[in-house]
């Protein structure tokens, strides 16, 4: 009996543990969709002239306004807490939208960020005030842009251009989270770091499943 008990523990316990964690991944790995298909970036031009798209990218979307260099504190927070930890993920990008005329300020900020890490994943786009307001309203969040067309909040956009965040949970007294305050290191550390991990894990798992299905075929 002891032999069978030991063998049962050796063979059955790992399976039980695996099933437990597998079910946990299924239940908790997906960040809720708060708004579907927020739009595209066709109305904006990039610093480099390359065509930037939300399609097939996991995007951290921000609005730095008329003077991007005034947002250097926010950008450094994002760079340290989010970008540096995840920039090697192939389909991960930061897209910051600004009005025309802000190109020099954006270049200056990009140069400062480049001292810390490879910033090829940071994309600065420029458009008219009207196109920026129109695109921002497509997010359908409770936030507003200030007079400089800026906000401290950034947003997680998935590969289908859906806005991701957190649903309201009355039991845990949690409010719905549309965006993440880049002026608050605590907000980035306590909320956004986890949410970015979740959405990247979601796509890693999807990629592994796709590769496994291809091998089976």
Give the pLDDT band of residue 168 (cuts 50, 70, 90).
confident
Question: Can you say how many angstroms the Cα of residue 54 is from the centroid of all Cα atoms in its chain?
Answer: 11
Asked, for residue 131, whether it belongs to a domain, the answer is yes
Strands 163-164 and 33-35: antiparallel
CATH of the domain at 83: 3.40.30.10
Domain region containing 129:
35-216
Residue at 45 is within a domain? yes
d(CA 145, CA 156): 17
Q: Give CA torsion, residues 37, 150, 188, 75, to 10 deg.
A: 110
pLDDT tens for 90-125 read: 899 999 999 999 999 999 999 999 988 899 999 999
pTM of the model: 0.83
pLDDT greater than 70 at residue 8 = no
CB contact at 8 A, 71 and 77:
no
Residue 121 domain-assigned (yes or no): yes
Q: Write the pLDDT tens digit of every residue in 171-208.
A: 667 789 999 999 999 999 999 999 999 999 998 886 66
- Total domains in the fold of the chain: 1
Instruction: Report pLDDT digits (tens) over 18-36.
Output: 334 444 344 446 899 999 9
| Residue 158 and residue 60 in contact, taking contact as beta carbons nearer than 8 Å | no
Q: Which of 134, 114, 136 is nearest to 64 (CA)?
A: 136
Give DSSP secondary structure letters for 111-172: HHHHTTS--TTEEEEEE-HHHHHHHHHTT--S----TTSB-SEEEEE-TTS-EE-B--BTTT
């Amino acid at each position: 009996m002891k032999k069978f008990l030991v063998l049962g523990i050796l063979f059955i316990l790992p399976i039980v543990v695996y099933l437990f964690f597998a079910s946990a991944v299924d239940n908790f790995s997906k960040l809720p969709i708060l708004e579907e298909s927020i739009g595209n970036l066709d109305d904006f031009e990039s610093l480099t002239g390359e065509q930037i798209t939300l399609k097939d990218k996991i995007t951290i979307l921000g609005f730095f306004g008329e003077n991007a260099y005034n947002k250097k504190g926010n950008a450094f927070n994002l760079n340290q807490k989010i970008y540096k930890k995840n920039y090697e993920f192939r389909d991960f990008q930061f897209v910051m939208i600004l009005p025309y005329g802000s190109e020099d300020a954006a270049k200056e900020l990009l140069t400062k960020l480049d001292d810390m890490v490879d910033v090829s994943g940071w994309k600065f786009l420029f458009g008219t005030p009207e196109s920026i307001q129109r695109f921002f309203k497509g997010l359908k969040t409770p936030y507003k842009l200030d007079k400089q067309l800026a906000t401290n909040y950034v947003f997680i956009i998935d590969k289908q251009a859906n806005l991701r965040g957190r649903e309201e949970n009355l039991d845990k007294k949690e409010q719905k989270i549309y965006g993440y305050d880049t002026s608050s290191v605590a907000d980035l550390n306590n909320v956004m770091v986890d949410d970015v991990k979740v959405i990247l894990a979601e796509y890693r798992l999807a990629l592994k499943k796709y590769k496994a299905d291809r091998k089976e075929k």
